[in-house]
Chains A and B, each alone.
Chain A
Amino acid sequence: MTTLVLVSHPHLADSTSQQFLKASLPADETIIWEHIEGQSTLDVAKEQDQLRHADRIILQFPLYWYAAPAGLKAWEDTVLTRTFVYGDHRYPLAGKELGIVVTTGMPGKAFQRGGAEQITLDAAMAPLAALADRAKMTWLPIFAIHQFDYLEESEKLQLVVDYQRYLTQKQPDSLSERQDWFTKRLPAMIQQLPPEQQATGRLIEAEFAQQKDDIDALVDTLSLIKEQEDD
């Protein structure tokens, strides 16, 4: 799967959260990462080509006044021409997934009716969701990171993998898909362990697979019981 990550931030080098996310990019997948404001001029043909070749497109930015920074809007207005998106009825983005990674300075609970911001992130991102709809893309649930600087180390550790999964894991985000995501990565992770830790790594891999098989067996048993109940 190819994931295109388009980052919009006017001062990327100063952003600890954006630098953290960049350092968290998974190494084992095809990820194309681009900083929109880092381009001196937008090469429309190149940008459109990148979009055509991606399976999942991620727009990543801090929330400025309930919207993306101006750089992303400029990119949209320049690259997403009417002819490209839908004008000639070819819909080159159809079937691709569009995900939003948004960082906010306010806590998650602020983004609800009655909360400090009085607006949900889904409502604030409505224009982008409408764009996805127009382009016949699949809209992914928003990945929001609230108050990054206040996160504890354990939360930052969890964020690394949650972010990697948002970029590369099949949707919807079910236990089954989460298990598959880890199963796929375990061999390479074990391979890079120091030799004296590899046996433990393999043991963990085998035990994890066993637990997964046990769950699958229970699911099968349950569906058999349900079938009999229907008879």
Chain B
Amino acid sequence: MTEQTQWLQTQIEKLAEEQGKFTDRAFWLALEALVGEQARRHDQLSGEVDGRTWRPDRW
């Protein structure tokens, strides 16, 4: 996970904590979870791009 993602998640978490309404807090925390999912998907996709680009048989 990148520093940028961690920074974003911290910002969202802080904002969530400041919300008085339960459903508002739920929205921001779910967004934080989704940001984590984005980061994992980003890593997987980057890994696949690297893996498919690294083709010694085509050197």
Chain A residues within 8 Å of B, Cβ to Cβ? 23-24, 154, 157-158, 160-162, 175, 178-179, 182, 185-186, 189, 192-193, 197, 200-201, 203-204, 207-208, 211-212, 214-215, 218-219, 221-222, 225-226, 229
Known pairs A197-B18, A200-B11; A215 contacts B52 (CB<8 A): no
Bound together, the chains give a CA A221 to CA B34 distance in angstroms of: 22
B48 touching A222, Cβ below 8 Å: yes
Known pairs A175-B41, A215-B41; A157 contacts B52 (CB<8 A): no
Please name 25 pairs of A and B residues whose Cβ atoms are closer than 8 Å in the assembled complex, sorted by A: A154-B29, A157-B22, A157-B25, A157-B26, A157-B30, A160-B23, A160-B27, A161-B26, A162-B30, A178-B34, A178-B37, A179-B34, A179-B38, A182-B31, A189-B27, A193-B15, A197-B15, A203-B11, A208-B35, A208-B38, A211-B38, A214-B42, A219-B45, A221-B49, A225-B52
Chain B interface, >50% SS class: helix
A-B residue pairs, 4 tightest by C-beta: A160-B26, A161-B30, A218-B45, A157-B26
For residue B41, give the distance in angstroms from its CB to the closest CB of chain A: 6
The number of A-B residue pairs with CB atoms under 8 Å apart is 87
For residue B3, give the distance in angstroms from its CB to the closest CB of chain A: 12
For residue B11, give the distance in angstroms from its CB to the closest CB of chain A: 6
Q: Which of A185, A193, A212, A229 contacts B52 (CB 8 A)?
A: A229
Specify which chain A residues have a CB less than 8 angstroms from the CB of B25 in the assembled complex: 157
For residue A152, give the distance in angstroms from its CB to the closest CB of chain B: 13
A24 touching B23, Cβ below 8 Å: yes
For residue A127, give the distance in angstroms from its CB to the closest CB of chain B: 33
B23 touching A215, Cβ below 8 Å: no
Q: Which of A186, A193, A200, A215 contacts B45 (CB 8 A)?
A: A215
Q: Which of the listed residues A182, A192, A193, A211 has the most CB atoms from chain B within 10 Å of its own CB?
A: A211
Q: Which of A162, A175, A222 contacts B49 (CB 8 A)?
A: A222
Q: Which of A161, A197, A207, A218 contacts B42 (CB 8 A)?
A: A218
Specify which chain B residues have a CB less than 8 angstroms from the CB of A226 in the assembled complex: 52
Bound together, the chains give a CA A157 to CA B33 distance in angstroms of: 11
Beta-carbon nearest neighbor of B23 in chain A: A160
Specify which chain B residues have a CB less than 8 angstroms from the CB of A214 in the assembled complex: 42
B29 touching A204, Cβ below 8 Å: no
Q: Which of B14, B42, B53 contacts A215 (CB 8 A)?
A: B42
Beta-carbon nearest neighbor of A203 in chain B: B11
